[in-house]
Chain A
Amino acid sequence: MPSEFERYSRQMIIRGFGEAGQRKLKAAHVIVAGLGGLGSPTSMYLVAAGVGHLTIIDAQRVELNNLNRQVLHWHLDVKRSKVRSAIEKLQAMNPSVEIDAKLKKITPKNADGLLRGADVVVDGMDNYRTRYLLNEACVRAGRPFVHGAVEGFVGQLTTIVPGKGPCLRCIIPKEPPRKSVFPVLGTTAGVVGCLQAMETIKLLTGIGRPLVGRILFFDGESANFEEIEVRRNPNCPVCGGV
């Protein structure tokens, strides 16, 4: 469609991107699990970039204390479901993207089914129990999983491609204690969520070198990014046999 050429013209002229890259995005199905501080920017940038099919999953309702960072949800959305609030804005941003919303809590029973058909799954969760479920389901399906997490001024990010690099369990083997309230600045989530969208676009188009086998730490206080190498654990209970 001519309007799509116009809409995506500025990214299609990036060297190596072109119409071929855009077609890959259009053909792709991405799942963003969690529509909070990370899932908000991730889903917005993926929709703006023209990912053809986006599934958003979240079981929660918008609360007033979400609004400092969950930029998809606005003042009048308080008490509405996050998926309702999100799909409205995302669809208005880009009507040509197919978006479906699942008002579901991710559980060990439904994880495989919920993620079926996705080319990439993006981690927008706020706890490791669910992150581990997503990690396991992605490893079982051989599906890339883009992990991100934030707290205060700091964040971390890594891209998991099963069989090619470590999974989340290889890197963080034990479940960290769950916090019901964590400190976080909206811009920290913005940085990491945006980078998760970037990783997703790289995976889908085949451009660049994804963060596989590396974890990137972002420290907003000192404005510093630092990566360290991470490796597969051959005895990993999740990906050891992959």
Chain B
Amino acid sequence: MPITVKFFYNFREATGKDRIEIAGTKDVRSLLNKLVERFGQKLAEQLYEPEREKLRNTVNILVNGHGIMTPHGLGTRLNDGDVVAIFPPVCGG
């Protein structure tokens, strides 16, 4: 059973998808690598700082509803059936 990834707002724009299913990812880092492979530069730019070493602090990731702490959170393990949501922080008020 694959994992489900849900994209919101700018990530939806960058991928052109609301959600996808994807298999064979062992942790969040490998998931993001696969997503960048598939959706290309625009998504990469939204996810990573220019040197691609660090996730931008404008990326929120939930795994089954749990916020992950980046950068340590990139090692968060993924299992079949997990649901990952990727969304930007909405800040204004």
* Interface residue ranges, A against B (CB under 8 Å): 34, 36-39, 123-128, 148-151, 154-156, 166, 169-179, 182, 184, 189, 213, 217, 219, 226, 228-231, 233
| Complex: A172 Cα to B83 Cα, angstroms | 17
Interface residues of B in 15-73 (CB under 8 A from A): 57-58, 60, 62, 64-70, 73
Partner of B91, one of A126, A229, A231: A126
Contact across chains for B92 and A37 when beta carbons are under 8 A apart: yes
Q: Find chain A residues with CB under 8 A from B89 CB.
A: 128, 149, 172, 176
Contact across chains for B68 and A173 when beta carbons are under 8 A apart: yes
| Complex: A92 Cα to B68 Cα, angstroms | 46
Mostly, the B contact residues are loop
Q: Find chain A residues with CB under 8 A from B73 CB.
A: 173
Q: Find chain A residues with CB under 8 A from B6 CB.
A: 228
Q: Find chain B residues with CB under 8 A from A226 CB.
A: 8
Partner of B92, one of A170, A174, A184: A184
Q: Find chain A residues with CB under 8 A from B14 CB.
A: none
Q: Is B3 positioned at the interface, with any CB of A under 8 Å from its CB?
A: no
The A-B contact count (CB < 8 A) is 90
CB-CB nearest 5 A-B residue pairs: A176-B89, A231-B65, A126-B93, A182-B92, A149-B90
| Complex: A233 Cα to B69 Cα, angstroms | 11
Q: Is B74 positioned at the interface, with any CB of A under 8 Å from its CB?
A: no
Partner of A228, one of B85, B92, B93: B85
Q: Find chain B residues with CB under 8 A from A230 CB.
A: 62, 65-67
Partner of B90, one of A34, A151, A178: A151
Partner of A219, one of B9, B57, B60, B62: B9
Q: Find chain B residues with CB under 8 A from A213 CB.
A: 65
Partner of B64, one of A34, A173, A231: A231
| Complex: A151 Cα to B93 Cα, angstroms | 8
Given contacts A170-B67, A233-B67, contact A176 B93 (CB under 8 A): no
Given contacts A176-B57, A177-B57, A233-B67, contact A156 B62 (CB under 8 A): no
